[in-house]
Homo-oligomer: A and B are copies of this chain.
Amino acid sequence: MRKIITVSREFGSGGRELGKRLAEIFGMNYVDGEIAGAVSEEKSLYETYLSGKYESGIFGYPPSGAHSFSCIGSVNNSAMMIARQHKIIREIAARTDCVIIGRGASAVLNEFKPFRIFVYADMPSKIARCRSRADGGEDLSDKQIERKIKSIDGARKKTHELYAAYGWGDKAGYDLCINTSGADIARVAEITAEYASEYFKRNSVQGE
């Protein structure tokens, strides 16, 4: 039975770090920006995925891994792009155990029974997290960062609701929703991995 973890997250809640750490703990592939890269480059996905050379993307972040607040302007919710993303996500899931960040994976991978996490936090925590990792965002006021967070999450919500049965962040569409306000993500990852292990164990028994 394939082991897939999907991480959906509010911007600034530490979801990406959680996803990376889960991938490390389980020794799984970590899938994020390369999906958008594959879409924008019109390449066959698996080729793109294996090459591992796409780290930024349409929804994504600069290759350095640092976050700027400029990505939202390039979001393009065309039905074609979303359909391609979903095809790519399914291709990846069919081939390898992995942690997938965002991109509607929680809604799209039903047949693989992924362990679906949603990560959220209160606004002060999200602003603090953005500040601590931002590159070039240091001159923004808290109000400006808050507006960016809301704008990015608003776009995620809109995109998600074009195709998903449950609303973005509606707990019914997830297995675990984690409030990371003030939390140490490394420790959250360790405990979340235990939940995920239980989930995989259960599904593998049912699948036998």
Q: Is the interface of A mostly helix, strand, loop or mixed?
A: mixed
Q: Within residues 158 to 208 of chain A, which ones have a CB less than 8 A from any CB in chain B?
A: 169, 171-172, 174-179, 181-184, 187-188, 191, 194-195, 198-199, 202, 206
A171 touches B202 (CB 8 A): no
Task: Check if A30 is an interface residue, CB within 8 A of chain B.
Answer: no
- Count copies of this chain in the complex: 2
B178 touches A120 (CB 8 A): no
A184 touches B169 (CB 8 A): no
The smallest C-beta distance from A32 to any residue of chain B, in angstroms, reads 23
Task: Check if A11 is an interface residue, CB within 8 A of chain B.
Answer: no
A191 contacts which of B118, B171, B195 (Cβ < 8 Å)?
Answer: B195
Name the residue of chain B whose CB is nearest to the CB of A206: B182
Chain B residues whose C-beta falls within 8 Å of the C-beta of A176 in the assembled complex: 176-179
**Contact mask A128-139 → B, CB, 8 Å, 1/0?**
000000000000
Distance, CA A169 to CA B172, complexed state (A): 10
Distance, CA A198 to CA B179, complexed state (A): 12
Name the residue of chain B whose CB is nearest to the CB of A194: B191
Distance, CA A191 to CA B189, complexed state (A): 12
A120 touches B191 (CB 8 A): no
